[in-house]
């Protein structure tokens, strides 16, 4: 069950402007907490707003699941993913550039009674910033 929930979450929410944001209401528990909120709110409304903002900047964002590991007893699933996107809108102060970016991340989801209650996520943000010309190592 965890694997199916994780795949539905990635395939529904993490596919750019064409994403089905109704998946959020379907899969996230009302008490959902985003533990990787990067200074924004941690609830479902804040998570949805983050997705909407992100997809304005990267409408063709596409995610590929590289690895998916589920621990049914613990009620947790980990997803290692890669993604590509072209920057069509402003992002973190960078003007739209059309730049194709490639980056990776890991998500850990806690699931109870078939709904996602918690999310921890890490992206390769420095790589993304470098590709957009916002940071140099």
pLDDT digits (tens, 9 = 90+) for 27-76: 999 999 999 878 899 999 999 999 999 999 999 999 999 999 999 999 99
What separation in angstroms does the CA of 104 have from each of 41, 123, 126, 133? Answer: 23, 6, 11, 18
Classify strands 100-112 and 115-123 as parallel, antiparallel or unpaired: antiparallel
Helices (runs of H) and strands (runs of E) counted in the chain: 4, 5
Q: What is the pLDDT of residues 91-129, one digit of tens each?
A: 988 899 999 999 899 999 999 999 999 999 999 989 988
pLDDT bracket for residue 24 (50, 70, 90): very high
The domain segmentation of the chain, as residue ranges, is 2-131
Helix (H) or strand (E) holding 29: strand 28-34
Q: If one looks up domain 2-131 in CATH, what number appears?
A: 3.10.450.50
pLDDT for 2: 96
């Amino acid at each position: 069950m965890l694997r199916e929930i994780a795949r539905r979450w990635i395939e529904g929410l993490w596919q750019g402007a064409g994403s089905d944001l109704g998946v959020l209401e379907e899969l996230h528990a009302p008490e959902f907490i985003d533990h990787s909120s990067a200074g924004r709110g941690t609830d479902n409304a804040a998570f949805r707003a983050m997705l909407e903002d992100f997809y304005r900047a990267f409408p063709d964002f596409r995610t590929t699941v590289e690895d998916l590991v589920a621990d049914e007893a613990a009620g947790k699933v980990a997803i290692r993913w890669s993604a590509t996107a072209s920057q069509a809108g402003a992002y973190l102060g960078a003007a739209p550039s059309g730049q194709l970016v490639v980056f990776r991340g890991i998500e850990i989801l806690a699931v109870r009674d078939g709904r996602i209650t918690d999310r921890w996520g890490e992206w390769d943000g420095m790589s993304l910033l470098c590709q957009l010309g916002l940071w140099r190592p």
